[in-house]
């Protein structure tokens, strides 16, 4: 198995999402301990000491983000859980929302206490049904049990939590776009600086954390930073929830100790590749992360530093395994169709660049590709990079350049022969 578990360390049953089951597992003891024994700054110090990195994509140290917000500065502070999870191939936060929603609620209470945040929000993807019902139900249970509201656990700490449903825009998963949507505006990302921790929701200091990041806070405060650091590696402590899809025998959500051998995880935990075929490529952390070849992942561990060394990232924890026999030209076509569709249109390079790349690959797949199309894809990817407000335009370029770098020969074959090298035996990814 892929190491020790910190979040998925209980059997999932029909009632494991309820308050009663969560209390039986020791739920809400961490917030009770914090309110009784700890000052707000001690919560932040413990999270900094644990080395928790954000689990939503950027991997920024969670405690360092909190340190920008100064409790008691006379301003209202806000905390937002980003539960939008719109990155293709990623569905691990959904597991928490469905099976352990109170873990998120308690993590948010601890974070709100550390940040002096009176009002908190969970911004949840509009397409989620069961996850929404589960987290909304957990919030209701927490209010009824006096874990939310006024004077929590007999202390002077009060906190209200609101669950807000988005409308399905991918860019609303970006923190500033999420805030714009939460304020009732179009979900357009904002220029920064100022940082959201300085001027966020309603122009007040705001922390936006991923669901998995906040869920880890509970265990860190309950068991201590040293216990969290005892799992994983020095630079990547703890575990990651990984949602696995594609050509594997056992797709699903797994909790992996950071530093665990990647190929062993696929072969043992995920049951290996469908049909016993070789691994051609892996999308390591959602389609915004650069693709890796089967040969590369055979030498890698699942950790942030290992991925950074090969110019990729664990990102949002959405792993897609791609077997030999899959056409990478068609795969890039699917990715660019998504980016083109989801571009909000606010930034000219992204608005035009995603559509330009999509049309080029559509033309190649249709047998009308031109020899200069490959260099044109690189050109558009280059001028999308760093020229947009949010990272969507960058990500589209990363996807295109990453696949071209490693599978250029398939594009050249498709252009020269006006068909895929795998014509007649292209396999669709199983999700």
Percent of the chain beyond pLDDT 70? 98
Q: With contact defined as beta carbons under 8 Å apart, do 233 and 259 qualify?
A: yes
- Read off the pLDDT of residues 322-377 as tens digits, 9 standing for 90 and up: 999 999 999 999 999 999 999 999 999 999 999 999 999 999 999 999 999 999 99
Instruction: State the DSSP code for 170.
Output: G
Give pLDDT, residue 168: 86
| Mean pLDDT on 286-293 | 92
Give pLDDT, residue 1: 64
CATH class of 19-229: alpha beta
Kind and range of the H or E element at 79? strand 77-83
Between 8 and 431, residue with greater pLDDT: 8
Token representation of residue 191: 């220029």
How far, in Å, CA of 1 to CA of 36, rounded?
37
Q: With contact defined as beta carbons under 8 Å apart, do 105 and 161 qualify?
A: yes
The CATH fold assigned to 239-323 is Ubiquitin-like (UB roll) (3.10.20)
Q: Report CA-CA distances (Å) from 175 to 94, 237, 252, 284, 390.
A: 18, 24, 26, 22, 9
| CATH of span 328-417 | 1.20.1440.230
Q: Report CA-CA distances (Å) from 38 to 31, 155, 305, 326.
A: 10, 12, 33, 54
Closest residue by Cα to residue 340 from 387, 281, 400: 400
- Read off the pLDDT of residues 385-413 as tens digits, 9 standing for 90 and up: 889 999 999 999 999 999 999 999 999 99
Distance of CA 81 to the CA centre of its chain: 12
pLDDT at residue 427 tops 60: no
Q: With contact defined as beta carbons under 8 Å apart, do 170 and 86 qualify?
A: yes
Q: Report CA-CA distances (Å) from 201 to 70, 113, 148, 177.
A: 16, 18, 21, 11
pLDDT at residue 308 tops 80: yes
| Mean pLDDT on 267-291 | 95
Give bridge partners of residue 282 from the DSSP assignment.
292, 321
Fold agreement (19-229, 328-417): no
Give pLDDT, residue 431: 36
- Read off the pLDDT of residues 118-152 as tens digits, 9 standing for 90 and up: 999 999 999 999 999 999 999 999 999 999 999 99
How far, in Å, CA of 63 to CA of 112, rounded?
13
Q: What's the helix, strand, coil split of the chain in %, to 5?
A: 45, 15, 40
How far, in Å, CA of 122 to CA of 404, rounded?
38
Angle at 301 between CA 298 and CA 302, to 5 degrees: 120
Q: Where exactly are the structural domains of the chain?
A: 19-229, 239-323, 328-417
- Read off the pLDDT of residues 200-256 as tens digits, 9 standing for 90 and up: 999 999 999 999 999 999 999 999 999 999 999 999 999 999 999 999 999 999 999
């Amino acid at each position: 198995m892929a190491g020790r578990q910190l979040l998925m360390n209980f059997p999932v049953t029909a009632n494991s999402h309820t308050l009663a089951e969560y209390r039986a597992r020791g739920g809400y003891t961490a917030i009770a301990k914090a309110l009784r024994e700890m000052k707000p700054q001690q919560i932040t110090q413990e999270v900094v000491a644990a080395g928790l990195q954000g689990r939503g994509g950027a991997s920024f140290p969670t405690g360092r983000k909190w340190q920008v917000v100064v409790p008691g500065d006379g301003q209202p502070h806000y905390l937002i859980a980003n539960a939008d999870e719109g990155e293709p191939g990623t569905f691990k936060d959904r597991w928490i929302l469905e099976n352990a929603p109170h873990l998120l609620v308690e993590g948010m209470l601890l974070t709100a206490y550390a940040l002096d945040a009176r009002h908190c929000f969970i911004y949840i993807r509009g397409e989620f049904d069961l996850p929404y019902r589960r987290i909304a139900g957990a919030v209701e249970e927490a209010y009824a049990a006096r874990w939310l509201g006024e004077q929590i656990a007999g202390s002077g700490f009060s906190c209200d939590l609101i669950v807000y449903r988005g409308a399905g825009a991918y860019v609303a998963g970006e923190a500033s776009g999420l805030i714009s949507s939460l304020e009732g505006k179009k979900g357009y990302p904002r220029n920064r600086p100022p940082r959201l921790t300085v001027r966020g929701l309603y122009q007040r200091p705001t922390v936006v954390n991923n669901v998995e990041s906040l869920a880890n806070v509970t265990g860190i405060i309950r068991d201590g930073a040293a216990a969290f650091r005892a799992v994983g590696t020095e630079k990547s402590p703890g575990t990651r929830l990984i949602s696995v899809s594609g050509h594997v025998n056992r797709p699903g959500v797994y909790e992996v100790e950071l530093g665990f051998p990647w190929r062993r995880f696929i072969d043992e935990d995920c049951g290996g590749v469908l049909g016993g075929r070789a691994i051609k490529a892996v999308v390591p952390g959602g389609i915004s992360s650069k693709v890796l070849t089967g040969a590369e992942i055979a030498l890698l561990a699942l950790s942030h530093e290992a991925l950074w060394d090969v110019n990729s990232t664990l990102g949002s924890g959405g792993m897609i395994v791609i077997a030999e026999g899959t056409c990478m030209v068609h795969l890039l076509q699917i990715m660019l169709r998504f980016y083109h569709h989801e571009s909000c249109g606010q930034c000219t390079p992204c608005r035009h660049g995603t559509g330009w790349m999509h049309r080029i690959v559509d033309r190649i797949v249709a047998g009308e590709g031109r020899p200069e199309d490959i260099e044109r894809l690189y050109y558009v990817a280059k001028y999308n990079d760093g020229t947009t407000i949010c990272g969507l335009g960058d990500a589209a370029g990363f996807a295109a350049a990453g696949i071209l770098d490693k599978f250029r020969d398939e594009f050249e074959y498709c252009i020269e022969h006006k068909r895929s090298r795998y014509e007649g035996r292209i396999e669709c990814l199983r999700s």
